[in-house]
């Protein structure tokens, strides 16, 4: 069986879900304008390769921790319905469905915090979600610390290896769809690396290595 991995932000969804989540919370008057701007800077730093990953995750966990559990779940679902779902293209849905119909095991692997990514994974009906995880206290609330390590860059390899071990899964073939040069550590390890609407660095790498380049933008 093939294991087909999809990055999420700017791959399956044509946006940065964490930034939109902060904007959504701002619209609900749940965070300040300053906090929303701070989250936007993380996206720019990520694209430039200068992101303070630990600080970015702490920010996400702090915002989630500030919400009561029921309120948080309702907000996350509302966020997906009103902000993310309208952006998802038919092309992205077709690619996922095609792999499912072919009997492939389909997984989203993303740096995005699990709580934010879960409604998106549920919509696509993937077999599993590998996402950023935070440590929790005895009450089930986020402590602000990252569990394992950030699911980003080489960290995606660590999270994938953990998931494969926990599930005693041994795929014969790996496919990975991504838009970002930050995912090169994983892209370089799979059998079929596929660049989706890639950034300039990834596009150049794909051209040099004869990797497939596609678009999910309708």
Helix axes 33-48, 17-27, angle to 10 degrees: 170
Q: For residue 208, what are the CA distances in angstroms to 62, 164, 181?
A: 41, 30, 13
SS3 38: helix
Query: pLDDT tens-digit profile of 49-99?
Result: 788 888 888 888 888 888 877 788 999 999 999 999 999 999 999 999 999
pTM, two decimal places: 0.93
Query: pLDDT tens-digit profile of 126-166?
Result: 999 999 998 888 888 888 788 878 899 999 999 999 999 99
Q: Domains along the chain? A: 2-214 (3.40.50.1000)
Catalytic residues: 7, 9
User: Cβ(35)–Cβ(55) under 8 Å?
Assistant: no
**How far is Cα 102 from Cα 105, in angstroms, rounded to an integer?**
9
Task: State the average pLDDT over residues 187-195.
Answer: 99
């Amino acid at each position: 069986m093939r294991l087909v991995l999809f990055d999420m932000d700017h791959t399956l969804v044509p946006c940065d879900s964490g930034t939109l989540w902060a904007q959504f919370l701002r619209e609900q008057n749940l965070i300040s304008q300053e906090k929303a701007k701070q989250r936007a800077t993380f996206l720019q730093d990520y694209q430039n390769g200068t992101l303070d990953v630990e600080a970015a995750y702490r920010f996400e966990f702090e915002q989630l921790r500030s919400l009561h559990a029921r309120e948080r779940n309702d907000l996350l679902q509302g966020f997906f319905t009103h902000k993310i779902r309208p952006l998802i293209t038919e092309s992205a849905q077709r690619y996922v469905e095609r792999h499912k119909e072919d009997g492939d095991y389909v997984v989203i692997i993303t740096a995005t915090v699990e709580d934010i990514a879960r409604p998106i994974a549920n919509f696509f009906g993937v077999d599993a979600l590998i996402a950023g995880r935070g440590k929790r206290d005895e009450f089930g609330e986020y402590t602000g610390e990252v569990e394992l390590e950030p699911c980003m860059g080489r960290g995606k390899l660590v999270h994938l290896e953990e998931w494969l071990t926990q599930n005693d899964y041994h795929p014969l073939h790996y496919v990975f769809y991504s838009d970002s040069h930050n995912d090169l550590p994983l892209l370089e390890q799979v059998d079929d690396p596929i660049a989706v609407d890639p950034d300039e660095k990834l596009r150049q790498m794909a051209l040099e290595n004869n990797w497939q380049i596609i678009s999910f933008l309708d």
